Amino acid sequence: MTLNLRDVPRPAEMKTYHAESYDRISPSTTKFDAKGKTLFITAGATGIGYSISESFAQVGIARIIIIQRRPEVLAQAKKSLEAAYPNTKVETYAASQSDFPRMSEIIKSVDEIDVLVPCATYFSDALTPAKASSTEDIANYFTVNVVGVFHLVKEFLALPSTASGGPKSVLQVSSAAAQLYIPGASAYCASKAAANSIITHFAFDEPASNVKFFSFHPGSIYTPLVEKSLPKDLSVWEDVKLPGDFAVWLAGPEAEFLNGRFVWASWDVDDLIALKEKVASDPSYLTTAVSYS
């Protein structure tokens, strides 16, 4: 049996489902003002994270800070991005999102961040039923996927205002797993749901803030991380360029009304914009408590 997330229930207003990037969110049509701005992204050197890094480089962002554990993939990402986008400065740090003292140190040292993207995730190589999971494994999921996200956001919010001005953005790379039952992935699903809830609380706790918070499902992307535990024929996969371009759109002015919400990169942005009044009138809509009835 092949899983197709296009068959998963979604808001009735989402009439168009995208498996690839499209003109409406392409770098050539973006309304995001990248001039003088800095992107800070964890796991930004490979897979979905690299796609996001590259899309922001394409729109002319001034600086990209990439955090990843492996120095060799960081070096390759820096080389590729700076060769293709010479006007973007790329800085790299070999570190783990769960190394909280080190993450605090790095964030303070880079000083200015306009767009924060917690993209790193923990996903065990083996799918395990809940009753057979170890406490240690559950703790690993929550340390990286929940506490790691919380720590990044809290340190980011403590930074002074950036010279570039304009609203800042937190774009948490989440997963459809936050609202699905996936056999053997109870801890992963629970951790993604918990991280979404934290992002919503950050957004709603600071209603007058100039920081906008979003969680988004990047799509069904067959990354090396996924390849470790899932066969390729299990699902219908989508193009890795989609989450990169969608992230840039999400950081722009058209998406500000989605502050605190959880959305999918595959949902058409004009279908989303049509929901602006509904989102404004219902604080729970497109959050963890969402009802699609």
- pLDDT tens digits for 205-246? 977 778 999 999 998 887 776 666 666 766 678 899 999 999
Q: Is the pLDDT assigned to residue 127 strictly greater than 90?
A: no
What does the pLDDT look like over 85-120, one tens digit per residue? 999 999 999 999 999 999 999 999 998 999 999 999
The phi-psi region of residue 245 (left if phi > 0; otherwise alpha if psi is between -120 and 50; otherwise beta) is: alpha
Please provide the DSSP assignment of 138-195 as one string. HHHHHIIIIIHHHHHHHHHHTSPPPTT-S-EEEEEE--GGGGS--TTBHHHHHHHHHH
Active site residues: 174, 188, 192
Cα gap 190→208, rounded to integer Å: 29
Residues contacting 245, CB < 8 A, separation 6+? 21, 25, 26, 27, 55
Question: Residue 226's pLDDT is what?
Answer: 67
Domain count for the chain: 1
Packed helices 135-142 and 186-205: angle between N→C axes, nearest 10 degrees: 30
**Amino acid found at 166:** G
Percentage of the residues of the chain whose pLDDT score is greater than 90: 71
Q: Is residue 290 part of a domain?
A: no
Domain residue limits at 21: 5-281
What CATH number is associated with residue 50? Answer: 3.40.50.720
Q: Is residue 289 part of a domain?
A: no
pLDDT bin (cut points 50, 70, 90) of residue 293 is: very low
Q: Is residue 292 part of a domain?
A: no
Q: Is residue 291 part of a domain?
A: no
pTM: 0.93
Q: Is residue 182 part of a domain?
A: yes
Compute φ and ψ for 77, nearest 5 degrees: -65, -45
Q: Is residue 160 part of a domain?
A: yes
What does the pLDDT look like over 167-200, one tens digit per residue? 899 999 999 889 888 888 899 999 999 999 999 9
Q: Is residue 286 part of a domain?
A: no
**Amino acid found at 272:** L
Q: Is residue 288 part of a domain?
A: no
Selection from 49, 51, 187, 159 nearest residue 103 by Cα: 159
